[in-house]
Amino acid sequence: MMRVLYAVAFVASVASAFDCSVKELSQYDFQSIKGEYTDIIRKSTPPSNSVFIWSIGICQNLETREDCPKNSDICGSKRVLVDDKDVLSEVIGFNSNLQKEYTPFGFNDQPQESGINITYRGVNWGDSLVDGTIKFICTPKGDANENRFKLIGWNGALFEGEFRSHAACINSNKEQKTPPTNNGGNDNGESWGWFTWIFIFMVLFLSIYIIGGAWFQYNKGNAIDFQSALREVLENFVDLLKGLPAFIKEVVEKVTGNSNRGEYSAV
């Protein structure tokens, strides 16, 4: 009997089955196609016949394939039929705990294909490491090949499968990745950015004013040393700040008084 090659992938990352709730799939409706899908290919390989069976589980593990490892997202097997004997010669399982890569391609509103690739890497199979990719292609509802899984290729190192479905089209209700321009007056962070720059410029201006004023006082000889000049400038600046409220009040009173006088006409 030919040796059965049994593949089970173990990685450190944590995942659960073909998880349709991951953020990378949030724009798609994979939950609507939850289930197991299988493609069977038969070949005449004299003096025997070979049967290749590949299955994928969407949003769940494969449960009906008794010849596959537990917790498999993808599983392929090869059976050899010769002299009324059925020999299971190969089993390749892609464990659900294997880390996946999600790669969108194309756009729904363009003529070329669009959808998303889900890739598995580094599956231990005998003495080899194999990879696998399922290409989910956006298909209009009612298409003849809708919701059908098809084996594209398996060469002992790379599995390639294809699944055409309307569920692989970006859901327009989930397509908004960025908030609208008018967000009801909520601060989106831009105002804080401008305030930060204004604050930085104010600090730089005050620093230049204080240090420059002290340097000017020191060069004029009005201070014994630079520290004394700096202290004098700071005291003048503090006095200016203290007198600022009174100055503003006086200006407001004058403006208010002028406007009030304008309400009366001379008799």
- Same domain assignment for residues 152 and 222: no
Give the end of a domain, one of 142, 174, 206.
Answer: 174
- Same domain assignment for residues 153 and 228: no
- Same domain assignment for residues 28 and 77: yes
Q: Evaluate whether residue 182 is within a structural domain.
A: no
pLDDT of 222 strictly over 70: no
Q: Evaluate whether residue 123 is within a structural domain.
A: yes
- 147 Rama class: left (phi>0) / alpha (psi -120 to 50) / beta: left
> Which pLDDT belongs to residue 173?
59
- Same domain assignment for residues 30 and 134: yes
pLDDT tens digits, 185-211:
444 444 557 778 787 877 787 777 777
Q: Evaluate whether residue 185 is within a structural domain.
A: no
Lowest-confidence segment of 50-64, 92-106, 244-258 by average pLDDT: 244-258
Which element (helix H / strand E) includes 119?
Answer: strand 115-125
> Which pLDDT belongs to residue 240?
72
Give me the phi and psi of 262, to 5 degrees please: -70, -10
- Say how far apart CA 33 and CA 194 lie, in whole Å: 48
Q: 19: pLDDT confidence band, cut at 50, 70 and 90?
A: confident
- Same domain assignment for residues 52 and 128: yes
pLDDT of 6 strictly over 80: no
> Which pLDDT belongs to residue 121?
92
Q: 3: pLDDT confidence band, cut at 50, 70 and 90?
A: very low
- The tally of domains found in the chain comes to 2
Q: Evaluate whether residue 180 is within a structural domain.
A: no
Give the end of a domain, one of 144, 174, 204.
Answer: 174
- Same domain assignment for residues 169 and 245: no
CA 20 from centre of chain: 15
Residues with Cβ within 8 Å of residue 150, at least 6 apart in sequence: 39, 161, 162, 163, 164
Could you tell me the residue range of the domain that residue 221 belongs to? Answer: 193-259
> Which pLDDT belongs to residue 56?
95
Q: Distances in Å between the alpha carbon of 105 and those of 18, 98, 238, 258? A: 20, 22, 63, 69
Q: For residue 173, give both structure tokens.
A: 């209700």
Q: Evaluate whether residue 179 is within a structural domain.
A: no
Q: Evaluate whether residue 186 is within a structural domain.
A: no
- Same domain assignment for residues 33 and 113: yes
pLDDT tens digits, 59-87:
999 989 989 999 899 999 999 999 889 99
Q: Evaluate whether residue 244 is within a structural domain.
A: yes
Please state, for a pLDDT cut of 70, what percent of the chain lies above it. 73
- Same domain assignment for residues 157 and 211: no
From 138, 144, 75, 74, select the one nearest 109 (Cα to Cα). 138
- Same domain assignment for residues 106 and 153: yes
- Same domain assignment for residues 163 and 217: no
CATH of the domain at 164: 2.70.130.10
Average pLDDT, the chain: 78
